[in-house]
Structure 1
Amino acid sequence: MNWLSISSGAFITAFALYCVAFLLYVIAVIGRKWKNREPEGHLRKWGRIAFVFSSLGLAAHLVFFFTRWAGAGHIPTSNMYEFLTLLGMAIMIAFTILFAIYRSPLLGMFALPLTVLIIAYAAVFPQEVQPLVPSLQSNWLRLHVTGAALGEAFFAVGFAAGLMYLLRVTDYNDKSASARRSQRWLEFSLYVLIVVAGFIITVFAFRGSGYEASFVQENLSIDARGNEQLTTQTVEYQLPPIVKPHDSEPVSIQPFLGLDRPLFEAPGWMNGVNAGRKLNTVIWSVISGTILYGLLRLLARKPLGAAIHPLLDGIDPDDLDEISYRAIAIGFPIFTLGGLIFAMIWAEQAWGRFWGWDPKEVWALITWLFYSAYLHLRLSRGWHGLKSSWLSVIGFLIVMFTLIGVNLIIAGLHSYAGV
């Protein structure tokens, strides 16, 4: 049986079902604005239908996971594509658990697009099954990756609820300095998510058009005997090269909107043969996300937060605050085990040390410390509501930087994840 073919079909099915479920959750939530036209029971029916579709999407996602496992011969957690699809599946598991408790269709309206965004981002990476390198052939690695993904999934649901709380309580008619500052930071949080979406759209657009550019980069290294060695490597781009690799020459560049040569060179302190390409990706992410954000602002004719705010009228903000806290409280011990404890045990087996200050390790520790502070402030200082929700949003932005920013910007022992 061709397990990988089944897996690929299940992945596409899950993505489509998630998109449909999101639209149904939107109908269930937006319909509350017209209760006089739509009976309350009718709106609950839309919420139940949306939950059925999201559950079917999760079922297809589980089929994808286990058939890819069967086809690859190992648990699919060995590269960035597999980890991000696992994270998307974990978010849906966390959402399903919390939806079963709180029965809030509004949570689906925010959690589903986050899942869609993450698995769409996963599709940017190479999807071929890769053989496991020796350091990945460990049961501790499987526990580490699955535990970290599930913990981060609950953080994601906590973020969605926290963001909804901020959108619900922010008063866009208030012109005071503190209110304006809150409005700007909330708009910036939405902008960051749109930048990620813009990057995904840009990558698929250029990939679909078959865009290619390539450079030859020279690297000078010194061996153990002090002899200099000059090596050359070819770096392939799938986005127009705004920045070229350090010490490189172009081999071929397809012109795009008059851009037929790089505008500048990656700085020498950026290590790694793919440093220039990663910096180029970051620049394109900001450009495309900014354009997308500008278009949405033009359509809304107001800040995006102000456009979303009226949709949340009638929602009890205390419920959103409670959902956010419960999600993070569940995710924290899971992340502690998977993201830190199991990771250190695996690191000792693979590299002979429990801790090595690798960039991904450092940012995992920062994430853990941040959520530790969140729970401490929530329980001992009584930080509820606005302050707590801001922490849940900031915490997940740190998680997103750990997942995306570290792989695109910083080289380290975990760089294999971005190959």
Structure 2
Amino acid sequence: MNLIDLSADIFIVAFFLYCFAFIFYCIAVMGKKWSNRDPLLHEKRWGKIAFTTSSLGLVAHIAFFSLRWAGSGVIPVSNMYEFISTLAMAIMIAHTVFYFLYKKTVIGMFTLPLAIIVVAYASVFPQEIQPLIPALNSIWLKIHVTMAALGEAFFAIGFAAGLMYLLRVANFTDKSKKARRAHFWLEFSLYAIVIVVGFIVAVFAFKGMGYEATFSEEKAIVDARGNVESKVSTVTYTMPPIVKPFNGQTVEVQPFLGMKDALLEAPDWMNGVNAARKLNTVIWSIITGSLLYGLFRLIARRSISKMIHPALSEIDPDDLDEISYRAIAIGFPIFTLGALIFAMIWAEIAWGRFWGWDPKEVWALVTWLFYSAYLHFRLSRGWQGYKSAWLAVIGFVVVLFTLVGVNLIIAGLHSYAGV
């Protein structure tokens, strides 16, 4: 077995250790109500078990990172699989830092699910080692990407704590218009998380089925001399084709629930065969996520936010507010160095300019400006608690778009990361 294969097996071990650690954290925090022993002793005992398990998962995760680096000869941050798995590792490092700072088991209750989702999300991307393009073969790549990931990991902790705060302080007995609007957006935030889970479930389900559908698209291209050439591109779907490329021709489609061809055609403004495939993936993510959400509602017979709220009754909301703010305050200077300053140095070396209005650069700046505004409102305007929590949640949505939307949807110099 080579180092790359060994690292993949260790990555799976880390994932399951994170899952077990999350269960133990839930027992530590929520099991106090049903424990026959002193609640503090119960939380302390299970908290130690949970933290030990999550630490073993982090050790395995670091081993995966190191072995993949040693096996490939390059730092594993050059594609979406490697970067997202590195982000999950950074989230667990941030979790460990905050556990030592606050000594509160509740931290693991909201950071472990986030790490688990991120690890699962990383696993949907191709895991093959890809040769580095010249722009990536630089020491500044290592510094830029790893520090950006660490900063975003602290933002993720701030997001998770902020969302937990909103769930903890929600008053579902209040039927006023303002309260109902707040409840709607809180539930919508949880629905969006379920959509992400739905994407992961759909990818693994159809991958397990070995599903494939192939389409071709002929496009006229005019060269510099005005000559018109015809170029045929093909694309392979790994999910049943609800949407096929504009003017696309069906090459081969595996039947699925009576579907022998695509139901719809992408609009003409969606250029390229991959644009329709990505739209198709988004549609399946929404369908699968909505089915999962509906199943949760059917089983619980209430909204997810109402279902989670009672489990958080023992948690001090002030602790959640403090953790959220402190995580963002720590992550901000790290992100500033990694995603802006060191990124500009790398851009100057790789492309001969420190700034070029590339979509990834623009959204990194948007992210930085948003968290600058967060810290300004928090420190100067006294936006603590409820307002601060919503800013932490919205801020991480911006981070996710910078990570996922720009890499996979918008074409630019960073598009190689989505291959």
CA distance in 2, matches of 1:329, 1:270: 40
Task: Classify 1:119/1:376 alpha carbon distance in 2 versus 1 (closer, same or farther; 3 Å).
Answer: same
CA distance in 1, matches of 2:95, 2:3: 28
CA shift digits 1:144-171 (9 cap, x unpaired)? 1111100000000011111111011010
Deviation of 1:11 after TM superposition, in Å, equals: 0.5
Task: Classify 1:354/1:219 alpha carbon distance in 2 versus 1 (closer, same or farther; 3 Å).
Answer: farther
Aligned to 2:94: 94
Aligned to 1:63: 63
The 3-state SS of whatever aligns with 1:349 is helix
The residue correspondences of 1:212-361 to structure 2 (distance < 5 A) are 212-361=212-361
Aligned to 1:170: 170
Q: What amino acid is the match of 1:270?
A: M
Aligned to 1:406: 406
The 3-state SS of whatever aligns with 1:229 is strand
Aligned to 1:183: 183
CA distance in 1, matches of 2:273, 2:135: 22
Contact preservation (8 Å) 1:124, 1:204? yes
- The more displaced of 218-227 and 318-327 is 218-227
Deviation of 1:325 after TM superposition, in Å, equals: 0.3
Q: Does 1:84 align with 2:93?
A: no
TM-score, normalized by length of structure 1?
Answer: 0.97
Task: Classify 1:413/1:246 alpha carbon distance in 2 versus 1 (closer, same or farther; 3 Å).
Answer: farther
The root-mean-square deviation of aligned C-alpha atoms, in Å, is 1.4
- The more displaced of 149-158 and 243-252 is 243-252
The 3-state SS of whatever aligns with 1:77 is coil
CA distance in 2, matches of 1:218, 1:101: 59
Aligned to 1:206: 206
Q: Does 1:54 align with 2:57?
A: no
CA distance in 2, matches of 1:21, 1:325: 25
The 3-state SS of whatever aligns with 1:279 is helix
Task: Classify 1:323/1:195 alpha carbon distance in 2 versus 1 (closer, same or farther; 3 Å).
Answer: same
Contact preservation (8 Å) 2:43, 2:105? no
CA distance in 1, matches of 2:411, 2:143: 24
Deviation of 1:38 after TM superposition, in Å, equals: 5.9
The 3-state SS of whatever aligns with 2:414 is helix
Task: Classify 1:89/1:216 alpha carbon distance in 2 versus 1 (closer, same or farther; 3 Å).
Answer: same
Deviation of 1:407 after TM superposition, in Å, equals: 3.1
Structure 2 unaligned regions, length at least 5: none
- The more displaced of 315-324 and 138-147 is 138-147
Q: What amino acid is the match of 1:328?
A: I
Q: What amino acid is the match of 2:386?
A: L
Task: Classify 1:18/1:345 alpha carbon distance in 2 versus 1 (closer, same or farther; 3 Å).
Answer: same
Q: What amino acid is the match of 2:232?
A: T
Deviation of 1:351 after TM superposition, in Å, equals: 2.1
- The more displaced of 408-417 and 251-260 is 408-417
Contact preservation (8 Å) 2:33, 2:39? no
Contact preservation (8 Å) 1:195, 1:290? yes
CA shift digits 1:164-209 (9 cap, x unpaired)? 1101101011111111111111111111111000000010000000
CA distance in 2, matches of 1:120, 1:376: 35
Contact preservation (8 Å) 1:271, 1:411? no
Contact preservation (8 Å) 2:140, 2:345? yes
CA distance in 1, matches of 2:79, 2:181: 39
Aligned to 1:111: 111
CA distance in 1, matches of 2:245, 2:87: 31
CA shift digits 1:80-127 (9 cap, x unpaired)? 000000000000000110011112222211111111111111111100
Aligned to 1:43: 43
Contact preservation (8 Å) 1:31, 1:38? no
CA distance in 2, matches of 1:77, 1:363: 19
Deviation of 1:37 after TM superposition, in Å, equals: 5.8
Structure 1 unaligned regions, length at least 5: none
TM-score, normalized by length of structure 2?
Answer: 0.97
CA shift digits 1:349-369 (9 cap, x unpaired)? 222222222222222111111
Aligned sequence identity (%): 67
CA distance in 1, matches of 2:38, 2:287: 41
Task: Classify 1:351/1:269 alpha carbon distance in 2 versus 1 (closer, same or farther; 3 Å).
Answer: farther
